Structure 1
Amino acid sequence: MQEEIEEKTVRLAITGSRLTVNGIISAVRLYMRHRANKKLDSIDTHIQGKQSIDELIKQNQGVTSMEIGDKGIKTFERIAKKYGVDFAIMKDKNQNPPVYTAFFKARDTDALESVMNEYAQKMVKREQRPSVREKLKRLVEKVKSQPKKTRTKKKEHIR
């Protein structure tokens, strides 16, 4: 009987120590997970590329603006994303045709110069290209000026 009581006491002590060890391990894991989440929250998670004007201003890095024509907005956006520039585009509906204004972070001025140079080169190339409609008109005129072929239809019966 005495041995049974001693054995039960030892089992209870072992079980209690296991629970506390498991409890300590789980508490340490929770604490480490909490620390990892804190580190992730502290990382600056600002939006890059195209964004709203409010989001751009909230970053507290100063904002500069520049007017862009109504043609080639998608080209401009592609080039700006390529250079990693944070920008926002606003459309002024009061003017006819509408004028687009691009807002940038003040610290992006160096990259902005590269963006504007490449954008200007692409727009000049686009202006120098002849339009497809003009090419079609010329080809239609050429076809009209050529003499028409006379077609003869003959049916032959094979016996």
Structure 2
Amino acid sequence: MQEEIEEKTVRLAITGTRMSINGIMAGIRLYMRHRANKKLESIDSHIQGKQSIDELIKQNQGVTSMEIGDKGIKTFERIAKKYGVDFAVIKDKNQNPPVYTAFFKARDTDALEAVMNEYGAKMVKKEQRPSVREKLKRLVQKVKSQPKKTRTKKKEHVR
């Protein structure tokens, strides 16, 4: 009789443990599936920063455009990413030098103003900064205009 009770107790403990393990494993699987779905949703939901013109238009929020010169396009992209503006840049190959057109969401106008102000300030600062090549040319001319030093070698006789 005692052995029978012990056997039933052991079986109860084993089945309880199995049920606990199966429940925990099912919970972990469910959680992992949930995290994978959330990750996919976050990737698909919104692309931010630089994107193609088609992706920008597909968001159905209206698009505005602005022409940008051929210099400083990387600076512009860096500043636009800093402000979180969604944009697309297209190169117009028909003109020489090529002109870049930047397309923005219509709702980003406030951020766009800040981007353009900072971009304009950086470009003005870059234009005012003297060229390193010009500085080098001036220094070379200055060195050429100076008379060369004549060196005289005198040896002392030592006795």
Letter in 2 for 1:149: K
Distance of 2:98 and 2:81 partners within structure 1? 23
Q: After superposition, where does 1:14-29 map in structure 2 within 5 Å?
A: 14-29=13-28
2:65 aligns with: 65
Aligned partners of 2:97, 2:10: CA distance in 1, in Å? Answer: 87
- Residue aligned with 2:114, SS: helix
Aligned to 1:79: 79
Q: In structure 1, what is the Cα distance between the partners aligned to 2:129 and 2:38? A: 53
Q: What secondary structure sits across from 1:100 in the alignment?
A: strand
> TM-score scaled by structure 2?
0.78
Aligned pair 1:95/2:95, yes or no? yes
CA distances 1:82-138 after superposition (whole Å, capped 9, x unpaired): 222122212122211111111212211111111111211222222233333333333
Task: Tell me the equivalent position of 1:31.
Answer: 30
- Percent identical residues: 70
Per the normalisation by structure 1, the TM-score is: 0.78
Query: Where does residue 133 of structure 2 map in the other structure?
Result: 133
- In 1, Cα distance between equivalents of 2:67 and 2:142: 42
Distance in 1 between the 2:140 and 2:24 partners? Answer: 83
Q: Tell me how large the CA RMSD over aligned residues is.
A: 2.6
Cα deviation, 1:22-56, whole Å, max 9, x if unaligned, reads 32333334334444444454447523222232333
Find the residue that maps to 1:134 and give its secondary structure: helix
- Which amino acid is the alignment partner of residue 77 of structure 1? E
Which ranges of structure 2 fall in alignment gaps of 5 or more residues? none
Cα 1:106–1:156, aligned 2, differ >3 Å: closer, same or farther? farther
Say yes or no: does 1:50 pair with 2:50: yes
Q: CA deviation at 1:68?
A: 0.5
Partners of 2:138 and 2:5 in 1: CA distance: 108
For residue 65 of structure 1, report the CA deviation from its aligned partner. Answer: 1.5
Residues of 2 paired with 1:158 and 1:89: CA distance?
A: 79
Q: Which deviates more from structure 2 when the two are superposed, residues 94-103 or residues 148-157? A: 148-157
Higher alpha-carbon deviation: 51-60 or 34-43: 34-43
Q: Which runs of 5+ in 1 are unaligned?
A: none
Q: Per-residue deviation at 1:60?
A: 3.0
